[in-house]
Amino acid sequence: MWGGRFAEGPAAVMREINASIPFDKRMWRQDVAGSRAHVAMLGAQGIVAADDVAAIDAGLEEVAAGYAADGVPDDLAMEDIHMLTEARLSDAIGPAAGRLHTARSRNDQVATDFRLWVRDATDQVLAALAALDDALLARAEDHAGSVMPGFTHLQSAQPVTLGHHLMAYHEMVSRDISRFRDNRARGNLCPLGSAALAGTGFPIDRHATAAALGFDGPTRNSLDSVSDRDFALDYLMAAVQCSLHLSRLAEEFVLWASQPFGFVALSDQWSTGSSIMPQKRNPDAAELVRGHAGRISGCLVSLMVTMKGLPLAYSKDMQDDKPPVFECHDLLAISIAAMTGMIESATFRTDRMRGLAESGYATATDLADWLVREANVPFREAHHITGRAVARAEALGCTLDAVPLADLQAIDARITDAVYGVLSVDASVASRRSFGGTAPDNVRAAIRAAREART
């Protein structure tokens, strides 16, 4: 490529450290698409003759067909996917291939290919998140009225519904979808035509190539165009946040599948066994999703550290921008798919959930609220009274709604038998009708709203 300047070839180690083909070959589709758009523009502008444009375009199609059929070889001598494609094009059509790189540098070529790849990856993630959200909404609808204990500090707090709990993850996924969409829109500008760093003296039409590649327009500064990797960092940041949400959901499944909880049975498809203990059913898929969040976070840190001190415009350090993004995408895609499968196939043990909700004094707040509403007791005093009622229930070894009225009135004479209308878990969840609350009707309304927002 640069034989005119150098008398000797690179050392073996230099060739190995300098080559990116083992990983950037993933971008071959984007590289071919960018080259076809570029040569079409060169022809339209009269920079390259029509016959050469036709030959180059046909040759690129031939190269792409070869990649699709046989894969892309790790040819270190070709250094990267861009040089390999140009070499194969030259083999296919001869010297005319050399005109393809007119008014283009590998700097803007790489930046364009990478943006295209990240955009395609984002579209894949958005489709996967939509499927995950569909699964959450379907299971939430199934269990809009299924009572379970709600937790704070992993201690039984107040009864909620399983549907409400699952809809909390819908909210997280909705924010993830929003972040990926925002990133896609912000990064959808085309660097092609910025050349090495300063633009080009050829009369190119950057708007034409941007439109041909589905971008909203060209980038506005040639220096920034070839040195910007914000679009990749934005993708990683959104992926990290998404992976944290997936990890929290996975952690719930790990806990819920354990015998002490017994809230869920994972299907055979998403469980593994033990090499020594025949009785084991391990939630390995959920644990791996939880573990992947750490690796995805590491990918973000890797690229941030690579970019933090680079002067304008392009530096070879930026060759290391792609491996963390590729790794992150693979991990995120399989994590989303695994959680979608687990949610769709899980058997929720709602009888067990209800039993624990009833046994954990989860309706204590309902007693305090009743005292405030019906007996005009200040909440702090009602809190104290309720605490004594819970202590009495513990002493009797019964649930709060099973404490005899006489015992409750011995604690505070203002308590009447009407209080029993709020002490059941069903009454408790049904009463939480404030916007965003756990009442079954609220949950069903939230599901309808979520589906309408998607149409």
Where in the sequence numbering do the catalytic residues fall? 153, 274
C-beta of residue 190 within 8 angstroms of C-beta of residue 308: no
Reading the block at residue 166, the tokens are 């699952």
Task: Say how far apart CA 67 and CA 87 lie, in whole Å.
Answer: 13
Q: Which residues contact 263 (CB under 8 A, 6 or more apart)?
A: 148, 255, 256, 257, 348, 349, 352, 353
Q: 164: closest CA among 451, 452, 440?
A: 440
Task: Say how far apart CA 167 and CA 447 lie, in whole Å.
Answer: 8
Q: Which residues contact 41 (CB under 8 A, 6 or more apart)?
A: 204, 205, 208, 209, 212
Query: What do you get for the CA distance between the two ends of the chain, in Å?
Result: 51
Task: Say how far apart CA 263 and CA 57 lie, in whole Å.
Answer: 59
Query: What is the DSSP code (8-state) at residue 423?
Result: S
Reading the block at residue 274, the tokens are 């033990």
Q: Which residues contact 414 (CB under 8 A, 6 or more apart)?
A: 371, 375, 377
Q: 321: closest CA among 153, 42, 118, 34?
A: 118
C-beta of residue 27 within 8 angstroms of C-beta of residue 111: no
C-beta of residue 290 within 8 angstroms of C-beta of residue 254: yes
Task: Say how far apart CA 356 and CA 342 lie, in whole Å.
Answer: 23
Reading the block at residue 254, the tokens are 């790990």
Q: DSSP letters along 289-331, please? A: HHHHHHHHHHHHHHHHHHHTTPPSS--GGGGGGHHHHHHHHHH
Task: Say how far apart CA 66 and CA 53 lie, in whole Å.
Answer: 20
Task: Say how far apart CA 311 and CA 315 lie, in whole Å.
Answer: 8
Task: Say how far apart CA 115 and CA 137 lie, in whole Å.
Answer: 32
Q: 220: closest CA among 201, 193, 238?
A: 193
Residue type, 225: S
